[in-house]
Chains A and B, each alone.
Chain A
Amino acid sequence: MSRRPSSFLLGGRRYSPAASLLLAAPFLLLVTLVFILPLAVLLRESLFVPEPTTAHYARAFAEPVYLRVMLRTLLIAVLVTTLALILAWPLALVMSRSRGLVLGLLAAAVLLPLWTSVLVRTYAWMVLLQRNGLLNQLLQGAGLTSAPVGFLYTQGAVVLAMAHVLLPFMVLPILSALKGIPEDLTRAAQMLGASSWSTFREVTWPLALPGVTSGCLMVFLLALGFFVTPALIGGPQQMMISTLVSQQVREMLDWPFAGALVGILLLFVLAVAVAFKRAVRLDRFVGSA
């Protein structure tokens, strides 16, 4: 290149390390101040208040009430992930084979909930499930039940509503994996005499697996720390770790214990995320927005 070397640009097209750092500086500053620092302060609280101790962590495992909350959180997250996978698979498969208007409508059905306020969707479920709600009106109108059924504050309601809220995070990665499978591949398998079941088992499923893993991981991680839906639909009866943390902070003012609960949650989430590092792909959700 005939350009004279500049300290700002290397080779005429790349910013120098110093210039790059300058561009990244506001981000690093903000993330340090509003993300790393608060978490560090909270974790310090859990380990060093009133003196260096692991007692707050031990308490979370020693007291059956808290242990039960953690196990329930794990169970609900697994159930939500399973339900979301079952619901997402047929939709993603049909979307991957659709074109034009049909694809547009199906995509809108996934994207609208993804970007609609979680509160709006949780509120909608409460309207449907409450004692004088739509589902009870329907059941009584059809003569199936004589008295209102209490759907709210049950584990089933929490799982259903959470699976609904998190479903787009399952559909999009699976769809993106399915789209990457050449159509010729499945057609070739069928022409060679493979049944639809073995085409699915030998071709579609293994090639879609990275997307499935990615979706399951995303939904599982989000479900573990989900707050709004369990707080409103689960109530104290279905307390999860997030609602327990909130209770400790807002009602008990027990910051060290809340910090320990957050520490346990963080450790678990990060361990899972690191174990499946390659499956954590945010670009799949943004590209379709």
Chain B
Amino acid sequence: MSRQPAPNRAGRAALNAAAYAVTVFLLLPTLIIIPMSAGPERLLSFPPKGFSLRWYGEYFGDEDWIRATLFSAEAGVIAAVCATTVGTMLALALVRGRLPGKGLVELLVIGPVIVPHIALAVAMFLVFEQLRLTGSLLGLAMAHTVLALPFVVFTVLAALYRFDAELERASLSCGAGPGSTFLHVTLPLIAPGLISAALFAFIISFDEAVVSFFISDLDRKTLPRKMFEDIDFNISPTLAAVATMLTALTIAALLIGYALRRGMERRARRTKP
């Protein structure tokens, strides 16, 4: 419209500029580490003075780093499998069932998000120490399962809401039992949601720093604990290499999650009337 005054356009340009500046603020600190990690010198600098994979070699050559990485990966896989199984069962009960005390259960789901991780970490430390679970894979995997559960439950709930419940009803009225209906109708339809839930549960566990800082042991450290201590004592350039690899892992997970979501939406459009 001709009434659209000029200051409005200027305002819009300023708004766009502000938004892009915030984007740069969000991305720059993480992304700037990537080129810096490939510098040859102890003192990280930008632009790096040359190219070298020295710090990556340092990481792969250091038994401590590798052991911490494998320990975290192990806990992450267990936590992802447990959280996805337990979370899917709960999501089914919430959506397709008549759960007594539903409100309370829903409160418990967001509990681990609202309660500060430091509170949980210290509380678990106290109890786990008495049960001799500190430093154990079991203790860590259980703790991370609980921390990842809220995200799994909400992801699976979203997947369940996205497809048409009539499909399940059709299967049931054609004589299939509830078990085979779940296996042959529901599960295939929500599978992409489950995979992405498991993926992000793994990331949550693998990156979790606070609880694992307290309940892992000195000789069985998680990767985040090892990073935490290395950052605290000496900001070594090996950390830049580790940070870069972790960022790459996150990007990969996000891309896979995005592809899964796209696939699920396309399928939902086909099955919904």
Contact = CB atoms under 8 A, between A and B. Distances in A.
A119 B209 contact: yes
Interface in A177-225: 190-191, 193, 196, 221-222, 224-225
Interface stretch (A5-13, A52-60, A61-69, A142-150): A5-13
Interface in B52-108: 85-87, 89-90, 92-94, 96-100, 105, 108
11 contacts: A17-B99, A26-B86, A95-B19, A115-B253, A119-B207, A120-B243, A134-B32, A196-B11, A232-B232, A287-B154, A289-B196
B240 interface: yes
Given A9-B178, A28-B105, A87 B25 contact: yes
B117 interface: yes
Interface in A79-135: 87-88, 90-91, 93-95, 105-106, 108-113, 115-128, 130, 132, 134
A265 to B, nearest CB: 6
Contacts of B94: 24
Majority secondary structure of chain A interface residues (helix, strand, loop or mixed): helix
Contacts of A273: 114
A91 to B, nearest CB: 4
Contact of A265 (B116, B146, B149): B116
Interface in A12-35: 12-17, 19-21, 23-24, 26-28, 30-31, 33-35
A117 B193 CA distance: 22
Nearest to B155: A286
Interface residues of B, number: 99
A111 B168 CA distance: 34
Interface in B149-197: 149-151, 154-155, 157-158, 165, 168-169, 172-173, 178, 196
Contact of B15 (A6, A94, A108, A191): A94
B158 A270 contact: no
A117 B158 contact: no
B89 A93 contact: no
B116 A41 contact: no
A287 B154 CA distance: 8
Contacts of B113: 282
Contact of A17 (B100, B209, B243): B100
Nearest to B150: A282
Interface residues on A, range: 35 or more
Given A196-B8, A282-B113, A119 B224 contact: yes
B22 A88 contact: yes
Contact of A23 (B8, B25, B89): B89
Given A31-B146, A227-B210, 18 more contacts: A24-B90, A27-B87, A39-B115, A119-B228, A123-B33, A124-B33, A125-B29, A132-B43, A167-B22, A221-B116, A225-B116, A227-B121, A228-B209, A242-B116, A245-B119, A249-B122, A265-B118, A289-B200
The 8 closest A-B pairs by CB, nearest first: A225-B116, A20-B97, A38-B123, A94-B19, A15-B97, A23-B93, A90-B18, A117-B207
Interface of B: 1, 3-4, 7-8, 11, 15-16, 18-19, 22-23, 25-27, 29-30, 32-33, 36, 43-46, 85-87, 89-90, 92-94, 96-100, 105, 108, 110-128, 142-143, 145-146, 149-151, 154-155, 157-158, 165, 168-169, 172-173, 178, 196, 200, 203, 207, 209-210, 213-214, 224, 227-228, 231-232, 235, 239-240, 243, 246-247, 250-251, 253-254, 257
Given A19-B97, A20-B98, A90-B22, A115 B142 contact: no
A42 B235 contact: no
B257 A289 contact: yes
A278 interface: no
B46 A134 contact: yes
Which of B86, B173, B246, B251 has the most A CB atoms < 10 Å from its CB? B86
Contact of B111 (A3, A19, A35, A255): A35
A266 interface: yes
A216 B32 CA distance: 28
